[in-house]
Amino acid sequence: MSMRIVAAIPTHNRRETALLAMQSALEQTHPPEAVFMVCDGCDDGTAEAAGAFGDPRVVVLDKPKAPGAGWLNRNDVLEQADADVVAWLADDDLWLPDHLERIVPLYESGAADLVQSSCVLVEADDSMVGCGLDWGVARFRKGALETGRHETPSSAVSHTVELGRRAGSWRTVDKYGDKDFWHRMLRAGARTSMLTEPTVLFLRNWERHQPYDDRVRQNGALLERIRDPAELPLLRAEIARAVHQRQGDVDEEIERLELRIGDLVVEGEWLRGERERLLAEAAPRRRRFWRR
């Protein structure tokens, strides 16, 4: 039997971008069983617009405003979803059409109970930067748990419903509730896999300095490119270029650090030589001092 997967879109008063995100979820080549629109105290018509969308897979959870970013309202998805896996999608991000199609085989094979997807950060000027650290790599997993660094947007994370419940579900924290949840799943022994080909367009909300209307236009234009059979390969090429550029930047930084390490080794050897020379020069004076 095919793995049953649902999409979940938490939102608070971002109706236009949330509906665009919902469309990218509904138009997946592997159709989700349901798309949950988790309205956290929305008073801008998001719930009504999603409910009137006309697709029976859309499930609107119209909830009162919960503390913080409404983390606790997301637990309704884990409680109500008749599915094996939940994939999270921020209300200001977009999925490429094969996002779920690429995720499902990793769960069906038993290779993972949490899957990360590579993604690109799309800036306000449409430039792209590759992002994401694979928690299957020991040093990245350790870094996430010990320093809090994770570099994985919520739109790039999916997990089994069972793992989410075992980790204690969502809880109220001051901020970064998604990071809190992911890290608790890692500590609960999550078996992770990562898609190497990006399937997520991450349009972060913080530090963006972009008017909301411009954001809506940008997201809408990107969704049209995703839908256009002629444009989608070009978009994928831009994404691949951004990922390779990031890898090139990483390789260049590694090379720079290796050169610096070499310089420090040479400098350390010179300092050791100077220390031995100074000690040798000081030895006669020290002997004379003790004879007195």
Which CATH fold would you assign to the domain 5-227?
A: Spore Coat Polysaccharide Biosynthesis Protein SpsA; Chain A (3.90.550)
Q: Which runs of E-coded beta strand occur in 173-223?
A: 192-202
If phi over 0 gives left and psi between -120 and 50 gives alpha, with beta otherwise, what is residue 247?
alpha
What pLDDT sits at residue 146?
77
Q: Which residues of the chain have pLDDT under 70?
A: 1, 147-151, 246-268, 271, 279, 281-292
The four Cα atoms 60, 63, 66, 70 give a dihedral, to 10 degrees, of 0
pLDDT digits (tens, 9 = 90+) for 14-40: 999 999 999 999 999 999 999 999 999
What pLDDT sits at residue 253?
47
Provide the sign of the torsion angle of the four alpha carbons 163, 117, 125, 20, taken in this order: negative
Using DSSP, state whether 108 is helix, strand or coil: helix
- Tell me the C-alpha distance between 258 and 80, whole Å: 52
* Sequence ranges of the domains in the chain: 5-227, 244-292
- Tell me the C-alpha distance between 115 and 22, whole Å: 20
What pLDDT sits at residue 248?
45
Give yes or no for a contact between 129 and 120, defined as CB atoms under 8 angstroms apart. Answer: yes
- Tell me the C-alpha distance between 111 and 262, whole Å: 40
What pLDDT sits at residue 148?
63
Neighbours of 1 (CB within 10 A): 5
Tokens 């719930």 appear where?
47
Pairing relation of β-strands 157-160 and 114-122? antiparallel
**Class of residue 56 by CB neighbours under 10 A (exposed 0-12, middle 13-18, buried 19+):** exposed
What pLDDT sits at residue 131?
84
What pLDDT sits at residue 145?
79
- Tell me the C-alpha distance between 188 and 263, whole Å: 43
pTM, two decimals, is: 0.82
Tokens 């095919």 appear where?
2
- Tell me the C-alpha distance between 156 and 100, whole Å: 11
H or E element in which residue 31 lies: none
